[in-house]
Amino acid sequence: MPQTQRSNNIRPINLSNDDLSAEKKFKLRVRQVHRRRTSILMLIFGGISLAFGGQLYQAHQIKAQTQTQLVQQQQKLHNARSRSNDLHAQVRQLHDPEYLDNLIRYRFNYSRDGEIIYNIPSEANKNLNF
């Protein structure tokens, strides 16, 4: 049986440039240029992406900070309106002569002619059962 000779497809890795034909050199050069261009474009795209990502993160942080300040200011506004309503109610009550009479009597221990005011200690108030 005659032996057929097989073609050897294995090539050495470290070929010198002299061994390559001009067409292969051209293809290798084109491939290197494309790799370099692709690398440069990827670096540029990565830089732009990082810049826009940083801007997006900064905008998100500013929005969160503004939201926090808004909630705090709304709480202050609510407290101020509540205090204002309380003060307006107090002013309306102070224009009422009956309320004003009671306020002066209890807060400043003012008495009418012929009245006697007795001060009962607070401990005694707890023991009294009415």
CB neighbour burial string for 31-53, b if at least 16 within 10 angstroms, e if fewer? eeeeeeeeeeeeeeeeeeeeeee
pTM, full prediction: 0.49
Is residue 124's pLDDT more than 60? no
DSSP secondary structure code for residue 28 in this structure: H
- Mean pLDDT score, 30-56: 96
Convert the pLDDT of each residue in 105-114 to its tens digit.
888 878 878 8
**CB-CB contact of 109 with 117 (8 Å):** yes
